Amino acid sequence: MAHQHMTEMLDLDAEVLHDFHREVISWAGELVPATGTARIVDLGAGTGTGTLALARQLPAAEIVAVDVDEEMLEHLRRRAGGAGNIRTMQADLDGEWPALGPADLVWASASMHHLTDPGRALRQIHDLLRPGGAVLITELESFPRFLHNAAEDRGHAEMDRMRHEAGMHMHEDWGALLRKAGFETRERRFDIELRPPLPASAARYAEVTLHRMRDRLADRLSPADLAALAAPAADDLTIRTTRLVWSGVKPS
Ligand SMILES: C[S@@+](CC[C@H](N)C(=O)[O-])C[C@H]1O[C@@H](n2cnc3c(N)ncnc32)[C@H](O)[C@@H]1O
């Protein structure tokens, strides 16, 4: 069930925050060569929201979607519907990396923070890129908020603590790490605020995200706070989240 929520949440994130996703995908389009078949690697591809959007934006590209989780990759393959230019590869990026290069673009959305050794991962990315190739890293500066109340603040503080305890690299300075690995960088910040009226998918996104939060915090929040983490009515719903995106270009 937890897995199912995660899968649905990732798909809804792409649907509800489509303007943001479209902007980053079009940035990706500017980073690959204008002619020929671009080779793209999606690291920690999950349900494939990035893979599929990249395939739509760059129909001539060949894309390899990598993830440790075979269930996610199966979901991705189903969504890709047998598209010949998309391959999946199951691999644990904390271990030995499979041969993924040479690539023109590496896409890593909300996945780098999971890796045990970010510096090592960036060196591997640098190695697999062609000279002039680029990496785009997206991370969540703040997770989506729907309620804007004290219970939600406490819930997020607790989730942050859990991620920290699990060793995740949530608030890394990816720009500095990219430069250390030899990349030329650019950073963009997206402060997203979606106001009512919002579509039904947005209400579902709030419901699934808050449900997952209640599950994960069942032992860590008071019953009153847990009860307060209930999705608001759709016509009351405002969604706020901040995403940071870094590009790193490997000098030619
Ligand atoms: C938050 S999801 C992001 C998925 C997708 N990139 C997106 O933006 O919707 C993080 C993904 O990274 C994958 N992941 C975590 N640790 C990994 C590892 N060591 N090797 C490969 N993939 C990993 C997870 O299985 C999950 O699918």
Contacts (Cβ under 8 Å, ≥6 apart) of 3 = 71
- Nearest protein Cα to ligand 1, atom 10: 111
- Nearest protein Cα to ligand 1, atom 9: 10
Cα distance between residue 8 and residue 104, in whole Å: 30
Q: What six digits make up the tokens of 79?
A: 């969504």
Q: Is 167 in contact with 110 (CB distance < 8 Å)? A: no
Contact 46 CB / ligand 1 (< 6 Å): yes
DSSP, collapsed to helix, strand or coil, labels residue 209 as helix
**Distance from Cα 42 to the centre of ligand 1, integer Å:** 10
Tell me whether the omega of the peptide bond preceding residue 59 falls within 30 degrees of 0, making it cis. Answer: no
Angle between helices 18-31 and 49-57 (to 10 degrees): 60
Contact 76 CB / ligand 1 (< 6 Å): no
Sheet of strand 184-194, all strands in order from the earlier edge strand to the far edge: 86-90, 62-67, 39-43, 103-109, 129-145, 239-249, 184-194
Which CATH architecture does the domain made up of 2-143+167-195+241-249 adopt?
Answer: 3-Layer(aba) Sandwich (3.40)
DSSP, collapsed to helix, strand or coil, labels residue 104 as strand
Contact 92 CB / ligand 1 (< 6 Å): yes
Cα distance between residue 56 and residue 40, in whole Å: 13
Sign (positive or negative) of CA dihedral 229, 234, 236, 241: positive
Phi, psi dihedrals of residue 33, rounded to the nearest 5°? -60, 145
Cα distance between residue 195 and residue 193, in whole Å: 6
In tens digits, what is the pLDDT along the chain, a chain of 252 residues? 467 788 999 999 999 999 999 999 999 999 999 888 999 999 999 999 999 999 999 999 999 999 999 999 999 999 999 888 999 999 999 999 999 999 999 999 999 999 999 999 999 999 999 999 999 999 999 999 999 999 999 999 999 999 999 999 999 999 999 999 999 999 999 999 999 999 999 999 999 999 999 999 999 999 999 999 999 888 889 999 999 999 999 999
- Nearest protein Cα to ligand 1, atom 26: 46
